Amino acid sequence: MYPFSTQIIHYDLNPGNVLFDEFGIAKVTDFDLSKIVKEDVGSQGMELTSQGAGTYWYLPPACFELNKTPLISLKVGVWSAGVLFYQMIFGRRPFGHDLTQERILRDDNYKSLQG
């Protein structure tokens, strides 16, 4: 199954959830937090529910909107893939590499992720 062709937001795409077969083909695993996008959502996205969050280092800053319920879309997977590629090339995450997930959620760290 191909998540991007079936409108699935994985919502926890990180190195631990990408496995490689004997031919070097990547396989995405762990769809526990994934959401199926309804056709009527469009580009607006859908509300993030209390189901839980993925691994914070791989989520876009929009998922950390503290003053409102964030809308998530297929763009979450694109951001996560970008963070994975960065980590593969440079050997570390592009931001937050020295922070715990709890510290990422602190207001001052969240603001620094927004640029």
Which pairing describes strands 46-47 and 71-72: parallel, antiparallel, or unpaired?
A: antiparallel
Q: What are 5's two structure tokens?
A: 């062709």
Check residue 69 and report its DSSP letter.
P
Q: Which of 12, 21, 30, 108 is catalytic?
A: 12
Indicate the pTM of the whole model: 0.71
Q: Which residue has the higher pLDDT, 45 or 16?
A: 16
The answer to whether 63 and 47 are in contact (CB under 8 A) is no
Q: Mean pLDDT over all residues of the chain? A: 76
Give the mean pLDDT of 100-108: 68
Q: Which residue has the higher pLDDT, 81 or 2?
A: 81
Give the mean pLDDT of 53-60: 82
CATH topology of domain 8-113: Transferase(Phosphotransferase); domain 1 (1.10.510)
Q: Is 12 a catalytic residue?
A: yes
Give the mean pLDDT of 27-45: 72
Please, which pLDDT band fits residue 29 given cuts at 50, 70 and 90? very high
Give the mean pLDDT of 33-59: 65
- pLDDT for 50 equals 41
The answer to whether 54 and 32 are in contact (CB under 8 A) is no
Output Rg (C-alpha) for the chain, integer angstroms: 14
Residues 6+ apart with CB under 8 A from 89: none
- pLDDT for 108 equals 55
- pLDDT for 70 equals 66
